[in-house]
């Protein structure tokens, strides 16, 4: 299918709802959760993960992590990964992968470098983005649509690890992040990512209604889910 992504309209600014004015030092657990779910929502795409970090900095400019113990942060995150990502996960092609499309060992090897990137972005040291808030949100929305299309349409399903009959979006091989979290507004479990998905939904409804890949993703997601879990 041909992509018909409409460009960001620079004269239509998206307002940032500033919720924290004074500097807020993140706890180890808070920073670890932001980093852990950045792997999930980036769906194995490093460029998307970096843009998520940049978006967090622009949306929450007062967040700081310069007082965090990096070794403690890494240890906390590693514990989360070990609890949720098993040794083997089977994808549609039989390859070992996590639910986010990232090999488990690759995740473990990259955690430290991405911890540095996240803290650098939050502290304003490694932002390096030429995009403003609206343009950055548009870029994130575009990449999320493309990743959903890659898994749901091109590959047929997402790789999922098998741990009994566990339910929930993280175990759904036909999950669309754009449909479920953005357009349907289902909670992510992390307030910052709820805000990201709300911003992505606004952009998608405004600029992507004729996008062929989005249309294909929504159609497949709706076809494979009950009417109560579908985009209307």
Residue 37: the pLDDT is: 93
Distance (Å) of CA 84 to CA 36, 52, 115, 171: 11, 22, 18, 11
Q: What is the rounded CA–CA span in Å between residue 176 and residue 197?
A: 12
Task: Identify the sign of the CA torsion 207, 209, 212, 216.
Answer: positive
Whether residue 124 is predicted with pLDDT greater than 50 in this model: the reply is yes
Residue 194: the pLDDT is: 98
**Predicted confidence band at 90 (pLDDT cuts at 50, 70, 90)?**
very low
Q: What is the mean pLDDT of the chain?
A: 80
The residue that leads in pLDDT, 225 or 109, is 225
Q: What is the rounded CA–CA span in Å between residue 91 and residue 19?
A: 40
Count of residues for the chain?
232
pLDDT in tens, 160-217: 755 544 568 888 999 999 999 999 999 999 999 999 999 999 999 999 999 999 999 9
Tell me which DSSP letter residue 232 carries.
-
What pTM was estimated for this model as a whole?
A: 0.79
Tell me which DSSP letter residue 90 carries.
B
Q: For the chain, what are the domain ranges?
A: 25-229
Residue 104: the pLDDT is: 54
Instruction: Over range 6-11, report the average pLDDT.
Output: 37
Highest mean pLDDT of the ranges 2-6, 13-17, 209-213:
209-213
Residue 152: the pLDDT is: 95
Q: What is the rounded CA–CA span in Å between residue 165 and residue 173?
A: 13
pLDDT in tens, 100-120: 444 556 656 678 888 888 888
Beta-ladder partners of 24: 63
């Amino acid at each position: 299918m041909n992509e018909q992504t409409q460009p960001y309209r620079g004269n239509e600014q998206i307002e940032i709802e500033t919720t924290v004015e004074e500097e807020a030092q993140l706890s180890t657990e808070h920073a670890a959760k932001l980093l852990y779910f950045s792997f999930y929502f980036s769906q194995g795409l490093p460029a998307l993960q970096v843009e998520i970090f940049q978006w967090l900095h622009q949306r929450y400019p007062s967040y700081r992590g310069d007082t965090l113990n990096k070794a403690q942060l890494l240890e906390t995150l590693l514990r989360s990964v070990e609890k949720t990502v098993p040794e083997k996960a089977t994808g549609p092609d039989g390859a070992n992968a996590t639910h986010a499309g990232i090999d488990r060992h690759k995740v473990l090897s990259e955690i430290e470098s991405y911890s540095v990137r996240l803290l650098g972005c939050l502290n304003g040291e490694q932002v390096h983005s030429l995009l403003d808030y609206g343009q950055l949100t548009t870029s994130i929305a575009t990449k999320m649509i493309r990743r959903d299309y890659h898994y749901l349409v091109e590959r047929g399903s997402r790789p999922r690890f098998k741990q009994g009959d566990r339910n929930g979006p993280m175990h759904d091989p036909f999950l669309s992040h754009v449909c479920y979290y953005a357009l349907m507004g289902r909670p992510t479990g992390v307030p910052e990512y709820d805000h990201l998905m709300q911003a992505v939904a606004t952009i998608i409804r405004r600029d992507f209604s004729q996008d062929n890949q989005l249309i294909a993703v929504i159609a497949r997601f709706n076809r494979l889910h009950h009417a109560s879990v579908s985009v209307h």
